[in-house]
Amino acid sequence: MLVLEDLVIGAGAFRVTADLTLHSGASVAIIGPSGAGKSTLLDAIAGFRSPLSGRILWDGQEITRDAPGKRPVGMLFQDNNLFPHLTLTQNLALALRPDGRLASADHAAIAAALDRVGLAGMENRRPSGLSGGQISRAALARVLLQARPIMALDEPFAALGPALKIEMLDVVAQVAAEIGALVLMVSHDPQDAMRFAGQTVFVNAGVAQGPFDTDALFSDPPKALRAYLGR
Ligand SMILES: Nc1ncnc2c1ncn2[C@@H]1O[C@H](COP(=O)(O)OP(=O)(O)OP(=O)(O)O)[C@@H](O)[C@H]1O
């Protein structure tokens, strides 16, 4: 269970507040207008931003000030964040072993993760030798490989066509189900939320609201959400 308790996060003069609870195994979409604070919220959960006040708890343990690598969070960034000078195997290896020393089983795990996202045989490519969609799938493979209890995905599949996006969302759902992970996914596409996420957090003007039941939220959206959806 992830608890954000009276959390206030600052980004320059901007503030995001959150006071909510998300359960293990849930899939949660994080939606809201551009600049509302969605990435800021995810960054704080993953440990890339220190909150100004409040607490973050995972299964009762406070993780508010823990370094990102010590948190139960695997994060897929908006820019996918692969090292350009490293091959896919080397990029994924860092997720498993920050010291770079791979055990023989690690190679099989990396190959399996790449296979799962449709990149089998591309182990030795560098990001420059991949399309934008392939890079986003490689970044997903890295999160899958980490198999952390919270999978935080910041607009993960913007570079993919509709069919491939659905396929990758299904892969995320399968892996999350296997490990009982909580999935947090920032998206601008209401279809993603409805297809993938039982719950939705709506971030508006720096306030994270919810979680709401996704179907109920979209079938009768509050005024601010209607404005965002253009309805
Ligand atoms: N380092 C910073 N200094 C000042 N302001 C910042 C900083 N980082 C983010 N902001 C501001 O914080 C606000 C929230 O940004 P954030 O990236 O969280 O929004 P978002 O909801 O993820 O938007 P988008 O959907 O466009 O990615 C924005 O107004 C942004 O300009």
Question: Residue 120 C-alpha to ligand 1 middle, in angstroms?
Answer: 36
Question: Residue 19 C-alpha to ligand 1 middle, in angstroms?
Answer: 19
- What is the pLDDT at residue 57? 98
Which residues have CB under 6 Å of ligand 1?
Answer: 11-12, 14, 32, 34-40
- What is the pLDDT at residue 63? 97
- Atom nearest to 188 CA in ligand 1: 25
Residue closest by Cα to atom 28 of ligand 1: 35
SS3 state at 38: helix
Nearest one of 26, 65, 20 to 149, comparing CA atoms:
26
- Atom nearest to 37 CA in ligand 1: 18
- What is the pLDDT at residue 231? 80
- Cis? peptide before 33, omega within 30° of 0: no
Domains of the chain with CATH codes: 25-50+66-229 (3.40.50.300)
Which of the listed residues 7, 8, 39 should we mutate to test ligand 1's pocket, taking the one with most ligand atoms within 8 A of CB? 39
Question: Residue 11 C-alpha to ligand 1 middle, in angstroms?
Answer: 7
- What is the pLDDT at residue 171? 87
Residue 3 in tokens: 């608890």
Question: Residue 119 C-alpha to ligand 1 middle, in angstroms?
Answer: 32
- What is the pLDDT at residue 229? 86
Residue 49 in tokens: 């931003």
Q: What tens digit of pLDDT does each residue of 171-203 get?
A: 889 889 988 999 999 998 888 899 899 999 999
Phi, psi of 78 (to 5 degrees): -55, -35
Residues 6+ apart with CB under 8 A from 111: 120, 123
Question: Residue 229 C-alpha to ligand 1 middle, in angstroms?
Answer: 20
- What is the pLDDT at residue 175? 87
Strand partners, 182: 150
**For the chain, which ranges sit under pLDDT 70?**
100
- What is the pLDDT at residue 107? 87
Q: Could you give the ipTM of this predicted complex?
A: 0.94
- Atom nearest to 203 CA in ligand 1: 21
Nearest one of 123, 15, 149 to 70, comparing CA atoms:
149
- What is the pLDDT at residue 9? 97
Nearest one of 97, 210, 225, 78 to 157, comparing CA atoms:
78
